[in-house]
Amino acid sequence: MVTETDAGADLGNNDGFLAEHAAAIREAAWRLAGHVRRTPTLPADEIATGVAVKPEMLQPTGSFKVRGAFNATLSLLGRSPDARGVITVSSGNHGQAVALAARNLGLDCTVVMPEGSNPVKVAAVRALGARVVSEGVTGANREERARELQERTGLAMIHPFDAWDTIHGQGTIGLELLDDLADLGTVVCPVGGGGLISGCAIAVKAARPDVRVIGVEPELAADAAASMRSSRHERLATPPATIADGLRSLSIGDRGFEVIVRRRLVDEVVTVTEAEIELAMLAVWSRLHLVVEPSGAVGVAALMAGRIPPSPAGSRIAVVLSGGNVDPALSARLLAAHAARLATGGSAP
């Protein structure tokens, strides 16, 4: 069993680390059966030859976050059957996922969300029966506010990315990619807090160390790329103003830092501009007919911008589309600009 204190142990032994955490990811896959969907891995040659996508917007609540949320909540109940409720901090997708898990498992739920969060996501969290706390909450103080509430209420924390149970749940995506693609050569994941890419990197590298794992984050939120360059745990000074609201964490978590930077289980982290994210969203919408949100589109943005190196000959690049909860105002703006461009003879993305 992996414990929270195992994170810093024996950094020279990736084999033991991978074996232990990969076993926990396989346990998570068993635990999640019946609670989350096994999303398909779809060819995406309309984007580029030799590319496949993992459309996690097809999950309940519209993002990959249900995997970590359900695994963490089910694991909590396994350890503490009398737990009465959970609390979390979220920009939206994780909050929805925890709210759904709590509702389905009979627990109270409180979600701490920054003021100005995507209104679609806030409404969805409330619709699932969770209490939303936003007054005075910012991207910089949200974790502190959540800890204060946790101490006052006794609710159990379901962290969005810096907890092994959450990371192991997200890692089930990597297992599915390995099952679906015998010719897998590269996995591309968005990077916010680092839970998704950490889980996928562990699952993939434990089975296929030759497969490259590449992270993508907005240029405006490039703390992971900076951490890779410096080998230090870099932190943004202020919440980034990127449209990719799911990737606005000030830094990757301690566990993500271990996986991504200290153990180098992620091969590279690249960045994309806001304009490239918007172009990628339109390309996925129009070519693949999948509704992807900005955070979920960063992998395609990097691919279209030429920042993902070609896979070895005969192997496939798999891009995780992490979610599809788009702000209607953003959708309207992008679609109106796209229609105007086409009307004047402009090219499709």
Catalytic status, residue 54: no
Nearest to 8 by CA among 224, 333, 201, 262: 262
The alpha carbon dihedral of 12, 18, 20, 24 has a sign of positive
How far is the C-alpha of 201 from the C-alpha of 91, rounded, in Å? Answer: 24
Which of the following is catalytic: 65, 90, 198, 295?
Answer: 65
pLDDT tens for the 349 residues of the chain, in order = 443 434 344 455 788 999 999 999 999 999 999 999 999 999 999 999 999 999 999 999 999 999 999 999 999 999 999 998 999 999 889 999 999 999 999 999 999 998 988 888 899 999 999 999 999 988 888 889 999 999 999 999 999 999 999 999 999 999 999 999 999 999 999 999 999 999 999 999 999 999 999 999 999 999 999 999 999 999 999 989 999 999 999 999 999 999 999 999 999 999 999 999 999 999 999 999 999 999 999 999 999 999 999 887 889 999 999 999 999 999 999 999 989 988 888 787 8
CB half-sphere exposure, 77, CA atoms < 13 A: 16
Half-sphere exposure of 334 (CA within 13 A, CB side): 26
Architecture of domain 4-61+164-335: 3-Layer(aba) Sandwich (3.40)
* CATH number for region 65-157: 3.40.50.1100
Task: Please pick, among 63, 91, 117, 322, the residue that the annotation labels catalytic.
Answer: 322
Does the model's pTM come out above 0.95?
no
Q: State both tokens at 126.
A: 């409330």
Residues of the chain within CATH 3.40.50.1100 domain(s) are 4-61+164-335, 65-157
What pLDDT was estimated at residue 313?
A: 81
Please give the pLDDT value at position 293.
96
Return the SS3 of 347. Answer: coil
Find residue 304's DSSP bridge partners: none
Q: Supply the pLDDT for residue 345.
A: 84
Distances (CA, A) of 201 to 214, 263, 268, 292: 9, 11, 11, 22
65 among known catalytic residues: yes
Opening angle at CA 121, ends 81 and 243, nearest 5? 125
